[in-house]
Amino acid sequence: MRTLHVELGERSYPIYIGAGILNTLGELSAKHGLTRKSPHLIVTDDQVAPHYLAQVEEQLKSEGYTVISHIVPSGESSKSLQVYEEVMTTAINGKLDRSSAVFALGGGVVGDLAGFVAATYMRGVTFVQIPTTILAHDSSVGGKVAVNHPLAKNMIGAFHQPVMVVYDVNTLMSLPPREVSSGLAEMVKHGLILDRDFAYWCRENGSKLLSLEPEALIYGLERGCAIKADVVSQDEREGGLRAILNLGHTIGHAIEAVGGYGRFLHGEAIAIGMAGSARLAEKLGRPADLHNETVSMLKAVNLPVTLPDDVSVDRIMDAMQHDKKFAEGQMVFIVPESIGSVSIVKDVPVEAVRSVVEQLKGEG
Amino acid sequence: MRTLHVELGERSYPIYIGAGILNTLGELSAKHGLTRKSPHLIVTDDQVAPHYLAQVEEQLKSEGYTVISHIVPSGESSKSLQVYEEVMTTAINGKLDRSSAVFALGGGVVGDLAGFVAATYMRGVTFVQIPTTILAHDSSVGGKVAVNHPLAKNMIGAFHQPVMVVYDVNTLMSLPPREVSSGLAEMVKHGLILDRDFAYWCRENGSKLLSLEPEALIYGLERGCAIKADVVSQDEREGGLRAILNLGHTIGHAIEAVGGYGRFLHGEAIAIGMAGSARLAEKLGRPADLHNETVSMLKAVNLPVTLPDDVSVDRIMDAMQHDKKFAEGQMVFIVPESIGSVSIVKDVPVEAVRSVVEQLKGEG
């Protein structure tokens, strides 16, 4: 088992990564001071529950814990205020108190939803993350939790750090190939923004990662989490530096929105977005091989790097105007300087962005 | 204008108290760094809006601010997830961003609702409190914000400190007499838990407070806020000491619940609860004049100290079992030691509490 520490002062916490470590969940819970006097709540979804819920419940019960579970439908639609209220109802009926914990067993949706429940139930209780996707290596570091408002994603949320993350790579073995690639998009992104060697390592080890070879997976997740943890430690509440984590996300979020949040997976959309950011960088005078190199890294883990023909450039541009990263009306982009280094550029001309989106389509 | 500082490290903030200080709201907002580039949201209710909303909007606009407003129905029913979502919709449509602020113009309900919006809109934005009730001198110190779940009050919330509180006592002049007394209940409570002299001052100045004599009011609010701020500074997240602020609240919340949150005002219910706590103290061996003294202080500001005949003791006892202050199944009571001093007593026998509730009724 590998242990990575996220340094956030009194809110610091460890990420445990390994194969088969779900079998130590009860022990780890005791180590982190979870009380046996109060009930705890496991939130999961109907895709994950059949595989791992019984195991997690048994593990905690065998260590003397009382647990109840709430299963939500899998998918983004569960990040709604309505499902949030239903989970709250289960927590109240289950008599959770201020010493209780909420466990998120699943991917990003479950983590965001259960995390926001933990952040706000009785004004905040203990939160434990058990990610079951590769994508969640990103969302489980940094404490950003949220649900969606019908008008916009992630508008309602909080910063609420877990007390621990238990990352058992065995839970990743049943992921469909598209989900694997989608998750690897954030891993490659962590290399692209801050670690040139890691970016090239991802490219070289693309096929091992795609086939979920444990050693490569554990190294990749640990390094990916470590890079993100490093950024978050320096800017917990997203005041400045943390924005670099949004490489590819401005265009990516617009692609997700225009696709109706079903057509493109998150990682697919941001992969296309990162290809776009590299094109934008070249337009703004950065080295001319950035796009080729970025695209080769993304292709190494089977990610798309162009927009399908039928996607409207106008709708992508419209969707970007609603992106919440335009603080105070300014258009901000994360632009690569070289592989492993980015900068935050304010006042990027809208026309340059439009031209990039047109190019992304033209190449498809 | 008096200024009181609530010391909470990087979350410290001032409370401004005075007559007519709403006229300086724009200036104070600028002093606290509110940006003129982003829109701000005023949340108020339909009782307060006709009196003060136009003035607040004008004040902010005259200083160059862009503001939008959302008016909710007055009363506890607005502390629902549904109204919360409606306010979020207004914020999104009004294009509030991360640099925006939410102003709460009103009493405790508006403060709790708007505060929870501020705590969770885009994972947290700036919050400004403009209390228009005496009761809000209590709720505007300490950063506890929340909405209700259909199954229980204040179950969904956060700790979110304002950047400033602007307390204009002129806004209190239109309060109905019952609301005045209800607010004074928390003021007397602050004396009872920590400041013997202030408790007696409240009794001596009861009629001045009831007639809203500005000098007495400003002194009483400042001292009440200061005592609460002192407790909150030592225990921001309610880990221990802060529990003493719950004097009278365990029985009080049960009285409110059994009365259906309409029959008794909050201050009335906790006044009866504080009379009960004094009885309980005597039963547990504390000085025999506690109940008489406590009752005389509450009566001096026209508060009830007994339960009406038709209120069922069984239902009060049932309601108390659901109170969230019973952490890990233990029954905790705040018990007076003398006037101006309390202690936290765990494992108070249920029978002693039942006997106190019966006495509260017998005296009516």
| B361 has catalytic annotation | no
Q: What pLDDT sits at residue B328?
A: 44
Give the chain B residue nearest A326 (alpha carbons).
Answer: B97
Express as a percent the part of chain B with pLDDT over 70.
Answer: 97
Structural contact between residues A342 and A193, judged by C-beta atoms closer than 8 angstroms: yes
Out of A38, A151, A157, whose CB is closest to B123? A157
Residues B85 and B212 placed together within one structural domain of the fold: no
My answer on whether A222 and A330 are in the same domain is yes
Minimum-distance CB partner of B120 among A85, A144, A157: A157
Same domain, A358 and A232: yes
Number of separate domains in chain A: 2
Query: Is there a binding annotation on residue B108?
Result: yes
Q: What percent of chain A lies above the pLDDT cut of 70? A: 97
> Does A38 show up as a binding residue in the annotation?
no
- Locus of tokens 């003021």: B187
Tell me: do B120 and B251 sit in the same domain: no
Query: Both ends of chain A: CA-CA distance in Å?
Result: 43
Contacts of B159 in chain A (CB under 8 A): 123-124
**B149 classed as catalytic:** no
Q: Which member of B208, B242, B283, B325 is catalytic?
A: B242
Q: What pLDDT is attached to residue B262?
A: 79
Residue B253 annotated among the catalytic residues of the structure: yes
pLDDT at A37 over 70: yes
- In this predicted structure, the answer to whether residue A262 has a pLDDT above a threshold of 90 is no
Nearest of B68, B245, B217, B41 to residue B127 by alpha carbon? B41
**Once rounded to an integer, what is the mean pLDDT over residues A259-282?**
93
Task: Please say whether the beta carbons of A238 and A154 come within 8 A.
Answer: no
Q: Choose one of B125, B142, B172: the last residue of a domain.
A: B172
B270 and B202 housed in the same domain: yes
Domain boundary among B172, B191, B216: B172
Residue B331 banded pLDDT, cuts 50, 70, 90: confident
| Beta-sheet strand order (sheet of A126-131) | A2-6, A13-18, A164-168, A126-131, A101-106, A40-45, A67-72
* DSSP secondary structure letter of residue A246: G
Tokens of B142: 């300490």
Dihedral sign for Cα atoms in the order A284, A285, A287, A289: positive
Q: What percent of chain A has pLDDT over 90?
A: 85
Residue A319 contacts residue A283 (beta carbons within 8 Å): no
Taking residues B99-122, what's their average pLDDT? 97
Query: Stretch B189-213: mean pLDDT, rounded?
Result: 97
Choose the final residue of a domain: A105, A138, A172.
A172
Give the per-residue pLDDT at B364. 58
The domain spanning residue B240 has which CATH number? 1.20.1090.10
pLDDT tens digits, residue range A132-163? 999 998 988 999 999 999 998 899 999 999 99
Q: Between these two residues, A76 and A102, which has the higher pLDDT value? A: A102
Q: Is A132 annotated as a binding residue?
A: yes
Query: pLDDT for A1-14, tens place per residue?
Result: 999 999 998 899 99
Question: A219-228, A318-327, B59-68: which has the minimum mean pLDDT?
Answer: A318-327
B185 and B132 both lie in a single domain:
no
A239: which chain B residues are within 8 Å (Cβ-Cβ)?
A: none
d(CA B202, CA B181): 12
Same domain, B190 and B224: yes
- Picking from A87-96, A194-203, A248-257, which range would have the lowest pLDDT averaged per residue? A248-257
**Could you tell me the CATH number of the domain that includes residue B105?**
3.40.50.1970
A51 is catalytic: no
Q: How many whole angstroms separate alpha carbon B279 and alpha carbon B42?
A: 43
Per-residue b or e along A251-287, where b marks 16 or more CB atoms closer than 10 Å to that residue's CB: bbbbbbbbbebeebbbbbbbbbbbbbbbbbbbbeebe
Residue contacts between A and B (CB atoms, under 8 Å): 91
Residue B259: pLDDT band by 50, 70, 90 thresholds?
confident
**Do A224 and A306 reside in the same domain of the chain?**
yes
Domain range for A109 is: 2-172
pLDDT of the residue at B260: 79
Tell me what pLDDT residue A330 has.
55
Residues A183 and A155 both lie in one domain = no
Looking at the structure, tell me whether residues A119 and A54 fall in a common domain.
Answer: yes
Res A349 pLDDT > 90 = no
Contacts of A150 in chain B (CB under 8 A): 89
Mean pLDDT score of chain A: 94
Q: What average pLDDT does range A200-227 have in this prediction?
A: 97
Nearest alpha-carbon partner for B89 in B107, B68, B115: B68
**pLDDT in the model for residue B322:** 64
User: What span, in angstroms and rounded, lies between the C-alpha atoms of B176 and B47?
Assistant: 12
Tens digit of each residue's pLDDT (9 = 90 or more) over B148-181: 999 988 999 999 999 999 999 999 998 999 999 9
A249 noted as active-site residue: yes
pLDDT digits (tens, 9 = 90+) for A196-212: 999 999 999 999 999 99
What's the pLDDT at A327?
Answer: 43
- In this prediction, residue A322 carries a pLDDT of 64
Question: Residue A244 — very low, low, confident or very high, per pLDDT cuts 50/70/90?
Answer: very high
Hey, are the CB atoms on B97 and A156 less than 8 Å from each other? no
One of A246, A256, A268, A302 is an active-site residue; which one?
Answer: A246
Average pLDDT over residues A188-196: 97
Same domain (yes/no): B108, B182: no
Q: What's the confidence (pLDDT) of residue A350?
A: 85
From the list B338, B223, B237, the residue with the least C-alpha distance to B286 is B338
Q: Based on the domain organization, do A153 and A83 belong to the same domain?
A: yes
B78 is in an annotated binding site: yes
pLDDT band at B71 (very low <50, low <70, confident <90, very high): very high
pLDDT value of position A329 = 46
